[in-house]
Chains A and B, each alone.
Chain A
Amino acid sequence: MTTPPPRLHVVTGKGGTGKTTVAAALAMALAGEGRRVLLCEAEGRQGIARLFDLAPLPYEERRIAVGRGGGQVHALAIDAESALIEYLDMFYKLGRAGKALDRFGIIDFATTIAPGVRDVLLTGKVYEAEKRRDRDGRHVYDAIVLDAPPTGRITRFLNVNQEVAGLAKVGPIRKQADAIMSLLHSRRTKIHLVTVLEEMPVQETSDGIAELSASGLPVGHVLVNLVRTSPLDDAARKAVLAGHLDAGAVGDTLAAAGLDGTPGLADALLAEGVAHVERLDLQDAQRAVLAGADHPVVEIPFLTDGVDVGALYELAGHLAPVAGSTEDDA
């Protein structure tokens, strides 16, 4: 018997390593023919809108792109205040009291200040979208991708409902918290960690994996972003580093090709070559560290020209192994 594919992909990682970019590319990769994918943003920074070159997204799901396999990518910027009002309405039909909450600044208090409430609402909305079904009883979304808070906060973010369960011992809040916890701890969820091949982010990734695993949260792939490729093969890298390629020989080769007009070029190229190889070696060392962790690794290349919507399709191609495990035929 095969296990059902994950439906909720949580993308975390160290700040600035490319969470938003990778989450968007993963959504594109998941949106195969006939499939609908929801890309959610939890941090209120409109990173998705910026990436797709759209006006700021309202608290409303809308189609923003066609996926790599022709499916649909929808997006939602979850904002905690709207989520709270929606939530109260849904669960409590508070009516006049709901309005009063707003009037007394409680919505504001609860969402911007009261610790944890924001995270409860954000995870709650994701939970709601995941389980939502259409009239025929089919899931509205085939997959959900969450551009989540960074590694340092992810465990607490995902486990916030446990804290709620600790605070609210009974009642509907407790029930909801338990249901969210069971989704997040189930096989339907995968938490992917975006990193780059540098010491600190890799360390943070290892710590993050340990922390997530320790609290029973399902770790998926390690997504290594900004991987620099090299036009030099292994032998060439060794030769450059060992100084076996000397400035004289390089200069002669350049001259033979008619490139002797640029003074100091040979030295400059060699110096850059050494720094380049040193950086590649550093990458390799970190790659080895990640290989030691017990999770599948996918590498995503650094795109010299930067990232635009077109580039997302290219990145989506690299994420096929992550999306693939959710395809029906996989």
Chain B
Amino acid sequence: MSPQRRNADRGRMVRGDGGGSSVLPLDVDAVIGDPTTRIVVCCGSGGVGKTTTAAAIALRAAEQGRRVCVLTIDPARRLAQSMGLTELDNVPRPVEGVGGTGSLDAMMLDMKRTFDEVVEAHASADKARTILDNPFYQALSSSFAGTQEYMAMEKLGQLYAEQGGSGGGSRWDLIVVDTPPSRSALDFLDAPERLSSLLDGRFIKLLLAPARGPARLFSAGFGIVTSALNKVLGAQVLTDVQTFIAAFDTLFGGFRQRAEATYALLQAPGTAFCVVAVPEPDAMREATYFVDRLSGEKMPLAGLVVNRVTEVAGELDADGAEVAARQVEDADDETSARVAGLLRVHASLGRVREREDRLRRRFAAAHPSVPTIAVPALPTDVHDLDGLRTIGSLLTRPA
């Protein structure tokens, strides 16, 4: 059964929160407790808590007995340290201090190294050298917008292959993937396509033409183009591009093939996407795009994590608290002044929460079938295993 179905079934019995209205609750324990779940992908727009959520889910799954590998991308320094992610060797290493019967390996993606390794693995030593030394390859592998997403996919494919497909005796039985800090959550899904279209572009075909085929492919138009480019860029640049493209050409097919295989993997029922957002307009809009896209691509959505929700205790609403603060203040002694201060703190929390609730209600109204869980904003950063455990438990109960 797909995670989507599982959640739908469970949702019928339980009513959760959702900023006041009832929505399906997302139960992360059910997702990671299901042995058929093999990959969990945490995605969302920048800074919403993808890395934290991925690490928390991975740790929780490990402590519940699964053999987990978590692929993190640019974790905060202290969190990385607490997970032992100090070796930058681009392979998973065991995390110390994990309880329970399972295991947790973690790694931090090194995008350039992943790219280099792909080149080295798929080209002859000579050719690999030519590619690695080419200035265009160097720029592409370290700064092309999308390379990080693409390499995250590549690494996921590698880890999954190492996992050994269907499990039994393999090193891991669950891979949790963090996604790069892109502005748009969709970048993760679009990057491979973007790279493919680079590799398939008309211009590239033309540049490759001399290497591949008869000179007549040099149409008159192309002559003008080359001379224009030479004029603009200088002949060396064009030669560099050409050398790079020619050397890289035989790798293109492999790249595309693997990207397609990973994409298919993401559509498989053993995958569960957790879309992470914070209750702010931009992040919720990105989450909406992403959820719609996942359903368009038939990718299995586990649900939405609304992270860093403002917690308000008690029943008193913002306006009530403001009025009360003014009343209390009248007494004009130190305690009263402080209580008035606390009431004002409560009032501003209440006001922020009201805005957050409105956003969440809107999302729920548009996506009534998407299971959702709200994780409160903790007063401090999440930077150690205990912090991850706290987030992990908050991920499994309605806030």
Interface of A toward B, CB cutoff 8 Å: 14-17, 43, 45, 88, 91-92, 94, 96-98, 100-101, 103-106, 108-109, 112-116, 152-153, 156, 163, 166-171, 173, 198-200, 203, 230-233, 236, 239-240, 245, 249-250, 253-254, 256-259, 262, 264-265, 267-276, 278-279, 282, 304-306
Least distance between A277 CB and chain B CB atoms (Å): 9
CB atoms of A257 and B324 under 8 A apart: yes
A sample of 18 cross-chain residue pairs with beta-carbon separation below 8 angstroms, ordered by A number, consists of: A97-B228, A104-B206, A109-B204, A114-B136, A115-B136, A163-B139, A171-B234, A173-B233, A173-B234, A199-B381, A236-B337, A250-B335, A256-B336, A257-B336, A264-B314, A282-B379, A304-B348, A305-B351
CB distance from B317 to the nearest CB of A (A): 10
Q: Which residues of B contact A156 (CB under 8 A)?
A: 143
Do the beta carbons of B228 and A170 come within 8 Å of each other? Answer: no
- Bound CA–CA A279/B378 (angstroms): 9
Encode contact with A along B339-352: 1 for CB under 8 Å, 0 otherwise. 11111111011011
Q: Is the CB of B234 within 8 A of A168?
A: yes
User: Which B residues are CB-close (under 8 A) to A113?
Assistant: 144, 194, 198, 201
8 Å CB contact of B225 from A106, A153, A173, A272: A106
Most buried by A among B78, B231, B232, B383: B232
Determine if A257 and B328 form an interchain contact, defined as CB atoms under 8 angstroms apart: yes
Contacts of A112 in B (CB 8 A): 194, 198
Knowing that A231-B344, A269-B345 touch, tell me 18 more A-B residue pairs with CB under 8 angstroms.
A15-B181, A15-B183, A100-B225, A104-B203, A104-B206, A113-B201, A115-B140, A166-B135, A168-B237, A169-B234, A232-B345, A259-B327, A264-B313, A265-B314, A271-B313, A272-B313, A278-B379, A279-B379
Q: How far is the CA of A108 from the CA of B234 in the complex (A)?
A: 20
Q: Are A92 and B225 in contact (CB under 8 A)?
A: no
Among A16, A103, A279, residue most surrounded by chain B Cβ atoms (within 10 Å): A16
**Which listed residue (B232, B313, B337) contacts A268, Cβ 8 A?**
B313
Q: How many A-B residue pairs have CB under 8 A?
A: 195
Distance A276 CA – B338 CA, assembled complex (angstroms): 13
* In the bound complex, CA of A279 to CA of B345 (Å): 12
Q: How far is the CA of A316 from the CA of B340 in the complex (A)?
A: 30
CA distance A232 to B347 in the complex (A): 13
Q: Within 8 Å of chain A (Cβ to Cβ): is B179?
A: no
CA distance A106 to B340 in the complex (A): 65
- Taking a contact as CB atoms under 8 Å apart, the answer to whether A269 and B342 are in contact is yes
Per the 8 Å Cβ criterion, residues 232-278 of B in contact with A are 232-234, 236-237, 240-241
In whole angstroms, how far apart are the Cα atoms of A93 and B315 in the complex?
Answer: 70
Q: B331 interface residue, CB < 8 Å from A?
A: yes
Q: Is the CB of B380 within 8 A of A92?
A: no
User: Binary interface profile of B, 293-306, with partner A (CB < 8 Å = 1, else 0)?
Assistant: 00000000000000
Q: Once bound together, how far apart are the Cα atoms of A199 and B349, in whole Å?
A: 22
| Cβ-defined contact, A262 with B342, below 8 A | no
Is B81 positioned at the interface, with any CB of A under 8 Å from its CB? no
Chain B contact residues: over half helix, strand or loop, or mixed?
helix
Q: Which 5 A-B pairs have the closest CB atoms?
A: A268-B314, A268-B313, A115-B139, A15-B46, A231-B344
> A236 touching B327 by the CB < 8 A rule?
no
Interchain CA distance A257-B324 in the complex, whole Å = 8
What distance in Å separates the Cβ of A52 from its nearest Cβ neighbour in chain B? 15
Q: Is B216 in contact with chain A by the CB < 8 A criterion? A: no
Structural contact, A250 and B342, CB atoms closer than 8 A: yes
Residues of A within 8 A of B204 (CB): 109
User: Do the beta carbons of A272 and B324 come within 8 Å of each other?
Assistant: no
Tell me if B158 counts as interface (CB < 8 A to partner A): no
- In Å, the complex CA distance between A274 and B380 comes to 12
* Chain A residues in 8 Å Cβ range of B214: none
- CB–CB A268/B224 < 8 A: no
Docked Cα-Cα span, A239 to B339, in Å, equals: 11
